[in-house]
Structure formats: C-alpha cells, structure tokens
Structure 1
C-alpha cells in the first residue's frame, strides 16, 4: 500500500496552517506545552543521570518510541508518564507526541502510574520493592484517604489496618509472583525509605548505598518519633541503636503481631467460606469445632 502523504502547496501562511493542523491531528507538535503536577512528578522514583543520558541519546538517534501519556483535567494537560522524555524533547526542540488517557480522579492516576512502572523491566530490586510497598500501603486505605498517604505531611504515618474492601497483600502478591508476607515486608521497606532524605532515598533505590531491612524496619516502627529526614548512614545507626536494647526493639513487634493476626483471620475466613456450601449439620460441626478451639486457647491464657 502506498504511503499517504500530505501536500503542503500554497502560500507560506497556508502551509504553516496545514502543518499545524496535521501535527494536531497526529498528536505531535513542538509547540505543545504540557503541565507538570509535582504531586505526580515526585510519586515515582526517578531514573539516575546515566539512564537519562542514555534515554536522550536514544531519542536523538531513533526518535520517540513511546508518546507522553497525558491526563486532561480542568483545562490542563498533565503528564502522567514521560516526565523525563518531555524534558528531553523540549530541551532539543523536538516534536512532542502525546497519548491522552482518561481517569476518574487523581488517585486513579496514581494507581495507574504505579502499575505502569511495575510493568517495566529496568527497575532495581529496591525500586520494585518500594513501588510494591507503596501500592500495598495505598490499597490499605479507604479511597478518600489515599492522597493523604502520599502527601509530605503524611511521611511519618502510623501503622494502619487494611481496608478489607481493597486489594490484599495476597492479591498483590499474585500480581507480582510474590508471597503476601513479602508484600508486607516491602510495605515496611517503603515506610522506612520515606523517612530518609531525598539524596539518601535516591542512593538507596539506585543501589548505591545499603541499609539492612532490619534497620529500615526499626526505623519504620518508630516513624512517629523521627521528626526530620535521616541524612546519612551514621544517623541511621544512631537511630537504630537508640531504639534497640540487646538486639530487641523497645516496642513490641507490632507488624509481626498484625501479620500473624491477619494470616489466622484469613485462614478462618477460608474455612467459613468453604463451609457455606456444606449441609447445615456439617457446617455447624465446623463452626462448633472452631468455637471450642477458641475457648480452649482462652482458658490456657487465663491460667
């Protein structure tokens, strides 16, 4: 099939007008100015300088492989994917191609951004764990409170109970081929990383520095007592030492208790759901057995 071309004959003014129309139809224009919302720009960990340089080299050599994803909202064209590509295109005065995606609200945008990043292969293990942890923490909250989790004011948020109506750690685990315990560990990692300074956070997610999961866990458990971002590894050690006595934290291991409680509850729920399809007599027997076991354990604790 012959390639379709556009004839730009006519006066200079007509030519420019037709070119502009063609660019708009194709979604490509060097004159396009897109909006950057800091809340979205800062949500996803950025690539390092070397990755940005390689991306720019690729765009200059081969052109834009993937258009900039845009959310049209309240008269603005807000970038939801492609912040770095957009900066490179503008810097080099190259045509900008956009792909408009429709979202219900900004929380839907954030969910999409996280899932989009998790679908990419060029993530460090640390970045992947951070994004999965972020996804789980957001899913634990009722929809109206998700935005509060991502705000600067909510960095030192307390441990929150999971909203049963939303995606569980087990479901997120299936999506990422991980156990539900690993998902919850990633959530602890996410909370701990958010207490670091921007530079430390970037270095950790790039794999340039190492902080043990145990130390990040201790930091996350005592988030409410950490008032300012942690600036260096020595400060990490100091904080961990402060909250540790003979290798044990001052406070009970709340996350472990919560995890065990959740696992037991899920198992009981599974048994109950399976019994729903059984005859009433068999179902009553199962429920009576569960009740007897609970009473027995309570008696043991009371002795």
Structure 2
C-alpha cells in the first residue's frame, strides 16, 4: 500500500472535523453517565485550546445558564497504554478533546451535557485534529493561528526526526543532492538540518535511498503552507513562534495567547531559536532580559565573523602586495610599478 502524503493525511483530518460534528449514539443512559464521570483532561491537549478572554468566559457562562449545553463535548476513547500510562495498560479511558471550557462550567454549575466519542490511533492524530479544528473557527486571533500552525509543523518535523533515529544507518539525500549520513549529533548540529529532515521522506521503509527530483518534492513547510493558505516562510516563522511560546511558563503563554499582555512576536520567535533555555520563562521582564541577551550574543557573533573575514582579506591583500613589490623591484617596469601602487591602495582599504 502506498504511503500517504502529508497532504492526504491532512485532508482526512479535515474530513474528520465534519464527521465529528455528527452526534454519536452512545449505549445506555447509565453507561453514558459513567463515561461523563470518568472523563480525563490532559493538560497537553487542553493547552491546544486558545484561552478565552474573561469577557468571553463570562459570556459563555451566561449562555450555558440560560440555554444549557446544546453541543456535545467530544471525547477520545482510548487505552492507558496509548497515553503512556503503564498501570492497567488495556483499561479504556475517555480523554476530553473539545469543550474544555464548557466541561469546566457544566461541572461547576451542575448543567447537563451530552458527549460524543471519537476514535483516533494515537495522541499525535488527536493533536493534529484539534489543531485543524481550532484553526477552522472564526474567532481565532492571528497570534493563536500562528501558534497552532507552528505546533503542527513542529509535530510533523518531530515525527520525521524520530523515524530517522530509528533508521540511523541510512543515508539521507540532502537538498543539494549529496548523501548525508545521519546520527544524533548530525541532526542536532547541522545548519541545514531542517531542510535535510524535510527531504528525508526519500528513505523508504526498507531503508533504501531514493533520489527525488527537487522540482517534484515539496517540503513539510510548503505542504502546510498550501494547506493553510500561507507561504512557506510564514510556516517557518510560525514554528519559531510556537517553540518560543513553549519555552514560557503555561501562565505567561496563556496571557499572551489570550491577548491579555502584549509582547512583540519577533521577540518570541528569537527565543524560539535559542538552544540553551532549559528553565521556563515566568515573566515579561524575563522575556525582555533573555531577548536582549540573545540580541547582544548575535551581534557579537556577527562582529566575530566580520572580523575573521576582514583578517582574511587583509592577509590576502598583504600577500598580493608583497608579491607585486618583488616583481616591481626585479623588473622596475612602469607596468609593475603601477600594479604595485594599486596593490598598496587595496591593502590600505582592507586595513581601514
């Protein structure tokens, strides 16, 4: 069976959004009530839901009190093993995947609600479904959309990376057509690792390499860009933004995504590119402090590169000057003397 492309998988997810809106029939009343009492909320999935402003939350509360909970809450029927719980791995568990705010309010206010059960093969499939579902909503802000698109890209990239680690002995064909032998250090240190990873679908399940025509091969960023109707560079910037937000504490991240505090997107993106940030950032002051530090470090690196390049140029001009001087001394011709003047002038330019 041919391997499904990312575009095909996303199309299936999109269709599943529509199917998920159809109410499922769920057993007897007693079994339904039992499921409701045992719904599990995963913070990892809850954090994918864009936070409501206080006014929006209060409006939802008022609406539920007046009209009840009309739309069913969506839950994922799975097992403990699928969500990495080792105890009783075969036990069935019901994980909430949509309606987190309604679930909280209905429990607090004792408002009845209905549920609808969906089946997914993995938590990654659930995450992708939830991201697509949230992006399909009209009230989502540009920052929230950027965050969700970035999460989607980073998830796809992580899946490809994991596949590479499982097949370390294989070579990947890089974008320039060269074979690259991958190991953990190569993937983490290579400057073009994004491009190499995205091209790595050239590795077949049997470990063989297939050289793909660059004109026919699309990167993950290109496919996601087409799917979400944005350009490839936007997807990559979204990925940096998502990585930056993930380095913040949940409270600060929630405030930014809810629009309660304002932080320049470029600062979060810069933080997202930083490698050595292991502790969560807990305040706006910390964000500013880390951003300034990263900016200074980046400037110093640029100065160092520029200085190294200039030293190399000075050395080259010096060698040229000494060579031209020797020739002028030996020949004493007008041509060589003029060449010496030119070489000396260029040497002075490099020094300045």
TM-score category, normalised to shorter length: 0.5 to 0.7
Q: Does 2:232 correspond to 1:180?
A: yes
How far apart in 2 are the matches of 1:220 and 1:200?
A: 15
The 10-residue stretch of structure 1 (204-213 or 122-131) with the greater mean CA deviation from structure 2: 204-213
Q: Does 2:277 correspond to 1:226?
A: yes
Q: Using structure 2 for the length normalisation, give the TM-score.
A: 0.55
* Closer/same/farther in 2, CA of residues 73 and 60 from structure 1, 3 Å limit: same
* Closer/same/farther in 2, CA of residues 192 and 250 from structure 1, 3 Å limit: farther
Aligned residue among 280, 284, 290 for 1:239: 290
Give unpaired runs (5+ residues) of structure 2: 1-26, 80-91, 164-187, 202-217, 304-352
Contact 1:244–1:250 (Cα < 8 Å) also in 2? no
Give unpaired runs (5+ residues) of structure 1: 1-20, 147-156, 253-303
Aligned residue among 39, 42, 45 for 1:40: 45
Cα distance per residue 1:179-232 (max 9 Å; x no partner) = 11111111111111122222321221122322223322321222x222322223
Aligned residue among 96, 100, 113 for 2:117: 100
Contact 2:146–2:241 (Cα < 8 Å) also in 1? yes
SS in 2 for 1:220: helix
Cα distance per residue 1:132-169 (max 9 Å; x no partner) = 110111111226949xxxxxxxxxx9996344449722
1:56 deviates by 1.7
Question: Which position in structure 1 is the counterpart of 2:250?
Answer: 198
Q: State the Cα RMSD in Å.
A: 3.2
Contact 1:141–1:163 (Cα < 8 Å) also in 2? no
Contact 2:271–2:291 (Cα < 8 Å) also in 1? yes
How far apart in 2 are the matches of 1:247 and 1:41?
A: 35
The 10-residue stretch of structure 1 (91-100 or 238-247) with the greater mean CA deviation from structure 2: 238-247
* Closer/same/farther in 2, CA of residues 91 and 144 from structure 1, 3 Å limit: farther
1:45 deviates by 3.5
The 10-residue stretch of structure 1 (64-73 or 205-214) with the greater mean CA deviation from structure 2: 205-214
Q: Using structure 1 for the length normalisation, give the TM-score.
A: 0.63
Aligned pairs for 1:75-90 within 5 A: 75-90=92-107
How far apart in 1 are the matches of 2:152 and 2:299?
A: 29
How far apart in 2 are the matches of 1:241 and 1:144?
A: 31
Aligned residue among 129, 133, 136 for 1:116: 133
